[in-house]
Structure 1
Amino acid sequence: MPPDPAAVPAAPVLTLVDGRVREVSVPALVPRVDRGSLADLPYDNARQEPDAVVFSRKDAAGQWQDVTAARFAADVHAVAKGLVAHGLGPGDRLALMARTTYEWTLLDFAAWAAGLVTVPVHPTSSAFQTRWILQDSGAVACVVEDADQARTVSAERRQLPGLAHLWVIDAGAVEQLRRAGARVPDEAVTARRGLLTPGALATLVYTSGTTGRPKGCALTHANFFAEVDNAVRLLHPVFAPEGGEPPSTLLFLPLSHVFGRMVAVGCVRARVRVGHAPSVEGEALLDDLAAFRPTFLLAIPYVMEKVHDRARAAAERAGRGAAFDRAARAARRFGATDAPSLSARAARALYDPLVYRRIRAALGGRVRYVICGGSPLGVRLAEFFRGAGVEVFEGYGLTETTAASTVTPPLAPRTGTVGLPLPGTGVRIAADGEVWLRGPHVFAGYWDARRGTAVPYTDDGWFPTGDLGDLDGDGYLTITGRKKDLLVTSAGKNVAPAPLEDRLRAHPLVAQCMVVGDDRPYVCALVVLDHEGLAHWRRMRRKDHLALWELARDRELLAVVQKAVDDANRLVSRAESIRAFRVLTTEFSEASGHLTPSLKLRRRAVLRDFAREIEELYEDGGRYAE
């Protein structure tokens, strides 16, 4: 579709130091919101377009039923009155602990309508993590999804004297709140909404805590408005009707993370139809995608890797693995440039009905766009999906920046980068390579439980992210790693592990990996095999009889991993390359304590728990594991 002239950002403003771009900013596409709050969005939608379908939700029979703007606003208002009826006052904190469901979004907006501050808790959080967040935020009420989560919270109630209410969604929490608010006058909620301003605190989102206790990021209504208004305008092809087909998305990432939450708010703001799916795993998600048929998706690289790897495995089982590989190369060739050659276009046309259509079918059949964040997708996968007919907009941001601070501009993608600054945002590269960010979407500060308020993070408006990055000559940002994760070998060589790990994880047999080498003579890697990829490999090689510990020493499998390591090593110099690796027989997972809920490595925990395996790698003298 032709670009909306209002959605085309102004040219980036570049600042050069010693001939290199060290700072870039892009003017905002929309003015700042100067009145009201997120609580007004459902009411505005109901007034302006009451019959617009803004949600679809599954009924007891598994069928998707539409929810209009008028119905959603009525639901929000009724639940908000219930919260008022239970004595929750303006500014009180309401914790939400549930998977990605309609009720989560409903309670979020209802809490805002009642003048509350919402506090997301990841649904798989431990009792300690849950108690810490409830204590630190000072939550006076908590809504959980099921009995197991209720038990987790109840077990900690003695240490949570301020927690007055605990509601369970599966036990009818929404209807209970609706009934409780029946006698509360409508004007009570209207008055609460009227007290809110853009600068008011909207939510406390706790970081996943890769190194220590999570910190509460205080995000205001203005932060969300600046983020979603500029993102919706910039990504006009995603959020606007195309060919008469209204946009829609199926949310399956946790709403406890700011990435999914931001898109949920943006869809309500843009009146985009939203469905909720509670899991990113298994056949249930594929069934939901097939039934819902979204036009765009919000995803993390893990999901995109799974879609690619499953398609590759299916092709190999059918004896068409080589054909799939040729199609993948053709897709990458097509997706690597904005002006593909005639032969590249012909190859894409040849493989579209044979391969690419099946890729799109796995995403529901109508997906044209994917907004991808959380970690780098990698050049090869980005080119592959673009060539397969799915445009991927990569972004970069943090909880502290209300999700995206940079994003791929639709009219000028640059594969391998995380794009240009979101309109209204500035990006600076500090002298030590750290990425600094500035803009109206940057949070108010970290929550201070003793003061009951947010403490500003800086005096000059620049937020140091802890990430390392580079700006190219046009202002596109590339993330090269985490400042705290930077390895320094005993020879003094600085090594950023993220690029090596990202490339290794792109292999179908590799689920997770961690590069080590701090104060060591060379770099090594711990490798965790992917369950689905390994099962497929075993079937194809007729090695189902081998136990996992035997496979970890199988020469044929190690040779495959060796090739993946060799491929990753092409990214770096010899001094930075992986000299040895160890295939582990246990996995990195959230349950084991080695991954955060957002699937980021807890490096200290891995170093501690696999200290013996790491020592053995260096005792072997740099030979590859056998």
Structure 2
Amino acid sequence: MVKALQWSPGFRIECSIRNNWDRPAYTEWEGETVTYAEVARRIARIHAQLEALGVTRGDRVALVGRNSNGWAITFMGIITYGAVVVPILHEFKTSNICHIVNHSEAKVFYLTQSYWEAITESSVPHVRAFINSRTGVPFYIQGDDSVKIELARIQQRTWEEVTPLSLRYYHGMGDELAEINYTSGTTGFSKGVMQPYRALASNIEFASGVLDLHPGDTVISFLPLAHSYGQAFEFIYCFCRGNHIHFLTRTPSPKIIIEAFAAIKPRIILLVPLIVEKLYRNNILKILNRRGIKLLMKMPIIDKPVLRKFQEALTTLFGNNFIEVIIGGAALNPEVELFLKRIGFRYTVGFGMTECAPIITYASWATHKLYSSGRAVVNMRVKIDNPNPLTGVGEIVMKGDNVTLGYYKNPEQTAASFTPDGWFRSGDLGYLDAEGNLFIKGRSKNMILGPSGQNIYPEEIEALINNQPYVQESLVTQRNGKLIALVVPDMARLDAEGIEGITDEQKERIIAETLEKVNEELPAYSKIATVQLYPEEFEKTPKKSIKRYLYTK
């Protein structure tokens, strides 16, 4: 019981505000900064609003918007009140947002102006009030005038009476529902993942043991806060440590990210592989491909100072102040990872999913094993279900405090997601080595059977294709019994080399060279039969995984 309270999100948030009262809490990059004291006063206003609207503990409250001070404070206000927060990804279409609000039966909806303009009250009839998450001012209130008058009075108060000693937040624990997180997976179906307080608490406990952050340390938040990866480790944990969280309010292009790293010098960095791979292509690969550098990299003695120069340059690029760079959300390209390992860059790769809020496996950069996703974290167990007797590959399943209660209003899907003895099915294929390091092969639903029953993992072939010149990204699928590779050309590189448009002859050359080089490295049963150029980037989920179902029909 004492341990559960110690890691309760409400308790940790309360303690952090009390201990860091005058420190900066949130900053919108090149914009407004709010202190922990200001966060406390705005949380008090949110609590008063929810109470006036008749929201009780366990009621659902929805929240949509881009990462911002207002979003962060609203999330904190909902969860410390004891309501169930329903964070909605800002990239969702209006129809999907309304579906989530209705499906979760949210009583109050916090949103920004642009979303309010796109949503009608009749499309979400159960919502009692629509409130601007940036200003706290209601857009629309159902009910009699007394509620409207009370909300107006709440808005006018300064809340100066809120002090460090007056804080009394709700300390949710155990299996009590804290959050319903609607996924945007690669299947196209959005499911409401029920995350209990124990899962959020377990993530805080894990991070406290491996990420040594201190009050005042700076952090950049650019992963979507409605997604569990960024929410857990760029937001909740960092707030609980008294960090200064900077919200990158622009689209996180490699150029913008590098500018932010230089200006903010973050202490911890979370990235998805796509961003790492773009930074590698744009800033490293061109240098590596120079003839003289290639030669030096192959010389046993001379290569060490060259590798050290790369390590220093990349560390500077990332702000030169970080403990480590944690990469997760999808598979990292093996070529990129090998380079990072060779130069001694402080990176690691973890494995997680929304259904585990999200962390499952991790190893620090100093102990991380090449191509692995680390070992099971505190409060979690991982094993391989029905492993192949020759390869050891099977479905990755897990048990522990981080695991979801199931899917909201979907008992059939919940039952199908657990083994009879209670292990959660990840849907990912992989194997464990003798030390317990997890190696991921791909998604079980993506696996393709070869002509003689061989297992073909399209993600591994895509990694080879993506290493080819002029290839930005690719997707491998099976059509009429043959493997087809859809390839998006790297237009930025073509433009940089003075090629203004792709001629038919150049298209044929790209196709022929890609096919030849990739097939040289593949066994006969997994060779690509055809390469087709695709004219635009593939549509992706918030964690930058390709929505494969759109292209594999």
Q: Does the alignment reach a TM-score above 0.5? A: yes
SS of residue paired to 1:113: helix
Aligned mates of 1:54, 1:324 — CA distance in 2: 44
Aligned mates of 2:461, 2:260 — CA distance in 1: 34
Q: What CA deviation, in whole Å up to 9, does each residue of 1:163-186 have, x standing for no partner?
A: 222233456649989943839997
- Displacement, 1:565? 2.5
Q: 2:495 aligns with which of 516, 535, 542?
A: 535
Instruction: Give the unaligned 5+ runs of structure 2.
Output: 140-150, 388-393
Residue type of the alignment partner of 1:233: G
- C-alpha RMSD of matched pairs (Å): 3.6
Partner of 2:450: 489
Q: What CA deviation, in whole Å up to 9, does each residue of 1:433-456 have, x standing for no partner?
A: 1110111111111111799x9999
SS of residue paired to 2:529: strand
* 1:295 aligned onto 2:247: no
SS of residue paired to 1:228: helix
* 1:584 aligned onto 2:534: yes
Change over 3 Å in CA distance of 1:306–1:195 after alignment to 2: closer
- Displacement, 1:50? 3.2
SS of residue paired to 2:97: helix
Question: Is this contact kept in 2: 1:77–1:113, CA < 8 A?
Answer: no
- Displacement, 1:552? 6.3
Partner of 2:544: 599
Q: What CA deviation, in whole Å up to 9, does each residue of 1:294-316 have, x standing for no partner?
A: 12211000110111111147759
Q: What CA deviation, in whole Å up to 9, does each residue of 1:367-391 have, x standing for no partner?
A: 3421110111133322323455631
Question: Is this contact kept in 2: 1:136–1:449, CA < 8 A?
Answer: no
Q: 1:558 aligns with which of 507, 511, 515?
A: 511
Aligned mates of 2:239, 2:83 — CA distance in 1: 19
Aligned mates of 1:181, 1:552 — CA distance in 2: 65
Partner of 1:462: 423
Instruction: State which drifts further: 294-303 or 47-56.
Output: 47-56
Question: Is this contact kept in 2: 1:93–1:118, CA < 8 A?
Answer: yes
Change over 3 Å in CA distance of 1:418–1:564 after alignment to 2: farther
Q: 2:196 aligns with which of 203, 212, 220?
A: 220
Instruction: Give the unaligned 5+ runs of structure 1.
Output: 1-29, 334-340, 590-594, 609-626
Question: Is this contact kept in 2: 1:115–1:196, CA < 8 A?
Answer: yes
Q: What CA deviation, in whole Å up to 9, does each residue of 1:13-68 have, x standing for no partner?
A: xxxxxxxxxxxxxxxxx99524783223332113334345444444xxx2674x44
Between the two proteins, the alignment pairs up a number of residues equal to: 531
Aligned mates of 1:193, 1:163 — CA distance in 2: 24
Aligned mates of 1:192, 1:50 — CA distance in 2: 15
Instruction: State which drifts further: 227-236 or 397-406.
Output: 227-236
Question: Is this contact kept in 2: 1:82–1:177, CA < 8 A?
Answer: no
* 1:268 aligned onto 2:239: yes
Question: Is this contact kept in 1: 2:46–2:77, CA < 8 A?
Answer: yes
Q: 2:218 aligns with which of 222, 244, 248?
A: 248
Aligned mates of 1:123, 1:446 — CA distance in 2: 21
Residue type of the alignment partner of 1:489: G
Aligned mates of 2:512, 2:417 — CA distance in 1: 52
Change over 3 Å in CA distance of 1:92–1:506 after alignment to 2: farther
Partner of 1:374: 329
Change over 3 Å in CA distance of 1:51–1:167 after alignment to 2: closer
SS of residue paired to 2:62: strand
Question: Is this contact kept in 1: 2:511–2:532, CA < 8 A?
Answer: no
Partner of 1:399: 354
Partner of 2:364: 409
Q: 1:97 aligns with which of 64, 70, 73?
A: 64
TM-score (norm. length: structure 1): 0.76
Aligned mates of 1:34, 1:45 — CA distance in 2: 14
Residue type of the alignment partner of 2:405: A
Partner of 2:155: 180
Q: 2:281 aligns with which of 284, 303, 309?
A: 309
Aligned mates of 1:94, 1:253 — CA distance in 2: 22
Partner of 1:114: 81
* 1:285 aligned onto 2:257: yes
- Displacement, 1:345? 3.4
- Displacement, 1:508? 6.1
Partner of 2:143: none
SS of residue paired to 1:428: strand
Change over 3 Å in CA distance of 1:57–1:449 after alignment to 2: same
